[in-house]
Amino acid sequence: MSIIENGPIFIGGVSRSGKTLLSALLSLHSNIAIPPKGTNLWNFFLNKYGDLNWKHNFERCLSDMLRYRHIRCLDPNPNRIRKEFSLGQRSYSNLFALFHRHYADRLGKPRWGVQSGFIEAYSKVIFQEFPRAKMIHLIRDPRDRFASLILMSPEVLNKIGPNTANWIYSVYLAQKNSKRYSENYKIVLYEKLVLYPEETLRDIGIFLNESFSSTCSEFTNAPEFLEKHGRLTQNYIGHYPNILSKSDIAFIQRFSKRYMLANGYELETIRFPVNTEMVIDFKRRITDFTHLTGWMLIETLRLKFPSLLSRTIASKKIQPVSGNISE
């Protein structure tokens, strides 16, 4: 089906929720091109450089985009982007789309897609610019999700406040967006994707208006999939008790309770002995709560004033551009 009949695909949700896994599965489809890494264009570049009708603003934006490693993996052609951007709508959304359309063209696929953390926060502008777009929102048990973050980076343990806030806000947006854009927005639980991949992928195919003629096992056993992701495993479902303390679990449940129950996640009953360690832990939780509310406030302001409080790309993800990128 052509890109006119089927709009682009956006995969959202917080980190360690299964976005990369689902992207890898969908990118094996003959019609769908999704980069292996999240390009985060809306997060890092939307409205940051002012009106793109001004050549100076456009060139500053394009120059910074071409230095970002997650965009460089798309192997963009700056001159082609300049040419096609000048012939179309000079908006950020159109500029972002060009990078992904060109990537899909190189793969010989008619439909482009992208996975990006927290892209659900930009659903309003995305559906305004791409009315036929489809957005899939991955949600995972916040306890398992935080446990997986710790396994990747143990220092994250001290950031339970903002990470809990991140999950709450993302799931809040999932509920809000699924009601507002009911025909174009779908929530998928990570647990269901892993436990019932055949059924889940078939359901996603119906939502995307794409037919999956192959079985899911053919996708998950594809050499390129196995090389990057290994075999689907249930080992990381319900693994949080081995990694999180009772206090950590209680903290996450205390603030995430409403959204956990709404998505079918059962709460664990936790009881603490009264001792001096409990007093010390209570002081730590006050700090975690402060970080949680602080993250919520900053994120709200960031969405309202992107040019003043834009996200900053880590220096290790900035790559010098070889050659001359100017016209």
Q: What is the DSSP letter of 47?
A: T
Lowest pLDDT segment from 36-40, 238-242, 322-326: 322-326
Q: 242 lies in a domain? A: yes
Q: What is the mean pLDDT of the chain?
A: 85
Whole-angstrom distance, CA of residue 188 vs CA of residue 195:
12
Question: By residue range, what is the domain housing residue 240?
Answer: 9-317
Whether the CB-CB separation of 248 and 159 falls below 8 Å is answered with no
What pTM did the predictor assign?
Answer: 0.86
Q: Which residue has the tokens 């999939």?
A: 225
pLDDT per residue as tens digits for the range 140-178: 999 999 999 999 998 887 888 888 989 999 999 999 999
Whole-angstrom distance, CA of residue 107 vs CA of residue 276:
61
- The CATH code of the domain that includes 25 is 3.40.50.300
Q: How many domains does the chain have?
A: 1
Q: 324 lies in a domain? A: no
Q: 322 lies in a domain? A: no
- Cα-based distances in Å from 320 to 43, 65, 205, 315: 21, 11, 39, 11
Q: 326 lies in a domain? A: no
Q: 327 lies in a domain? A: no
**Phi and psi angles of residue 11, each rounded to the nearest 5 degrees, phi first:** -115, 115
Q: 70 lies in a domain? A: yes
Q: 52 lies in a domain? A: yes
Q: 166 lies in a domain? A: yes
When pLDDT is cut at 50, 70 and 90, the band that residue 306 belongs to is low
pLDDT per residue as tens digits for the range 271-289: 766 554 444 455 566 676 6
